[in-house]
């Protein structure tokens, strides 16, 4: 029987001449959505019918978008000029600006869809989105984003974090709403600056860790607090995660404090985070101190990457391209050597998959065939060049090309 017929019968696709991260050329076979074989490129004169020739393009596992806000972006909607805070960065004031902007924005489902397609088009097929829950919006955002996730289930894996954007104790009723959000289908419980926002670290964390325990949910806390205050909160979160033995499911997003404490304090914090298994998410933001990626990785901490805000009320930047995010993180971290550039890519791929607890991630036999083919010699070049010419495959089927969805 000709191979084409056999491939059709077993739903098998072959990808020829794929450049792997180690520089070798390989032929990849995908069956039932997973890599079933990876072999040195055969380079036969007559390739099997139906095979896709990748012509030496670099094949990378689909990127992992570790932190995004699907409910608050204006991407694809009217441009919203950035409103500066009255007196330096103020989370409460930014939340108020956001509420005002959202009242005039296009329907949330439409904006979320725009943002999802932007991310998938650039090669992210797994993501973690925080979704606002507070006494004003109730569960409206969660319900809308849950429906969008359902619609895109075949294209992208989306984890949702019930995110108390207006605090927990300072927005009465929020704890109960967060409980409901987890019942409705959110995968993780979020948090927000327990000290500076709710001014009660224990009270805030009692709710967050209590809900996580009750629902078996993961935790991902927004922590902007800097210096020793932020460090104190990081220590509290790590201690609780360790005591409960749930470190592998706990992350701190931003953790700016790690970027502005002494080297000794950082070394201690790194040890504690590694021992407790708490991961750190960074997006290497603008002119702000951010966690020292290399030092934390060296200490054994899982550091992963996310876009965070994309063209929303917090800032006008963001393009949903995790390869570009790896570039920014590498640039801001002063990464020049190949291994350093590879580590920047790791934040947006394997480390992200570890932090999100993804099953079957990578270019390996048995792994899900979610991958990106792009024109680059190797990973370091991909990180500095950020080639936009790329094709995205979900379960071995093309879903996007040159940044646009094709399926
Ligand atoms: Zn965020």
**Domains and their CATH numbers in the chain:** 6-61+361-405 (2.30.40.10), 63-356 (3.20.20.140)
pLDDT (average), residues 340-361: 98
Does residue 125 surpass a pLDDT of 70? yes
- Closest by Cα among 48, 60, 64 to 15: 48
Confidence of residue 43 (pLDDT cuts 50, 70, 90): confident
**Residue 50 contacts residue 14 (beta carbons within 8 Å):** yes
For residue 270, give every residue at least 6 positions away whose Cβ sits within 8 Å of its Cβ, in sequence order, or none.
Answer: 295, 296, 298, 299, 300, 301
- Using CA atoms, how far apart are residues 320 and 121, in angstroms rounded to an integer? 9
| Residue 117 alpha carbon to ligand 1 centre in Å | 19
Which pLDDT does position 7 carry in this prediction?
66
Does residue 302 surpass a pLDDT of 80? yes
| Residue 171 alpha carbon to ligand 1 centre in Å | 18
User: What's the distance, Cα to Cα, between the start and end of the chain in Å?
Assistant: 30
pLDDT (average), residues 50-73: 97
Tell me the pLDDT of the chain averaged across its residues. Answer: 95
Which pLDDT does position 3 carry in this prediction?
46
| Residue 14 alpha carbon to ligand 1 centre in Å | 39
Does residue 149 surpass a pLDDT of 80? yes
| Residue 222 alpha carbon to ligand 1 centre in Å | 6
Which pLDDT does position 8 carry in this prediction?
59
| Residue 405 alpha carbon to ligand 1 centre in Å | 25
- Token pair in block for residue 155: 């294209």
**Residue 323 contacts residue 333 (beta carbons within 8 Å):** no
Element (H, E) at 215: helix 201-215
| Residue 314 alpha carbon to ligand 1 centre in Å | 9
- Which sign does the torsion angle of CA 134, 140, 142, 145 carry? negative
| Residue 396 alpha carbon to ligand 1 centre in Å | 31
For residue 33, give every residue at least 6 positions away whose Cβ sits within 8 Å of its Cβ, in sequence order, or none.
Answer: 368, 369, 395, 396
Which pLDDT does position 91 carry in this prediction?
83
Element (H, E) at 147: helix 140-151
| Residue 404 alpha carbon to ligand 1 centre in Å | 25
**Coil, strand, or helix at residue 236?**
helix
| Residue 300 alpha carbon to ligand 1 centre in Å | 24
């Amino acid at each position: 029987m000709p191979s084409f017929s056999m491939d059709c019968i077993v739903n098998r696709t072959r990808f020829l001449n794929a450049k792997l991260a180690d520089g070798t050329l390989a032929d990849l076979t995908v069956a039932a959505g997973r890599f079933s074989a990876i072999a040195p490129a055969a380079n036969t004169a007559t390739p099997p019918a139906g095979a896709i020739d990748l012509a030496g393009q670099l094949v990378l596992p689909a990127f992992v978008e570790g932190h995004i806000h699907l409910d608050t972006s204006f991407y694809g909607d009217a441009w919203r000029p950035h409103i500066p805070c009255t007196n330096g960065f103020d989370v409460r004031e930014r939340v108020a600006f956001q509420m005002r902007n959202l009242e005039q924005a296009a329907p949330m489902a439409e904006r979320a869809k725009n943002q999802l397609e932007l991310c998938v088009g650039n090669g992210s097929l797994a993501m973690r989105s925080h979704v606002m829950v507070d006494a004003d919006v109730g569960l409206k955002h969660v319900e809308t984003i849950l429906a969008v996730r359902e619609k895109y289930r075949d294209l992208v894996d989306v984890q949702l974090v019930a995110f108390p954007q207006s605090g927990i104790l300072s927005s009465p009723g929020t704890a109960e709403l967060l409980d409901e959000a987890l019942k409705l289908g959110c995968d993780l419980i979020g948090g927000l600056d327990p000290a500076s926002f709710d001014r009660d670290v224990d009270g805030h964390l009692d709710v967050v860790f209590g809900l996580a325990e009750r629902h078996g949910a993961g935790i991902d806390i927004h922590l902007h607090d800097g210096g020793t205050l932020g460090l104190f909160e990081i220590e509290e979160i790590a201690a609780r995660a360790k005591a409960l033995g749930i470190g592998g499911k706990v992350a701190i997003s931003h953790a700016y404090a790690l970027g502005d404490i002494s080297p000794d304090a950082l070394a201690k914090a790194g040890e504690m985070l590694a021992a407790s298994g708490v991961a750190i998410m960074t997006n290497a933001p603008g002119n702000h101190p951010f966690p020292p990626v290399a030092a934390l990785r060296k200490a054994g901490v899982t550091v992963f990457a996310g876009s965070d805000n994309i063209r929303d009320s917090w800032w006008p930047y963001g393009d949903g391209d995790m390869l570009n995010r790896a570039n920014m993180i590498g640039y801001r971290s002063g990464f020049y050597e190949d291994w350093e550039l590879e580590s920047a890519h790791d934040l947006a791929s394997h480390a992200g998959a570890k932090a999100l607890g993804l099953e079957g991630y990578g270019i390996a036999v048995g792994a899900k065939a979610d991958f990106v083919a792009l024109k680059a010699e190797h990973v370091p070049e991909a990180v500095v060049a950020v080639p936009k010419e790329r094709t995205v495959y979900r379960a071995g089927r093309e879903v996007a090309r040159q940044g646009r969805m094709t399926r």
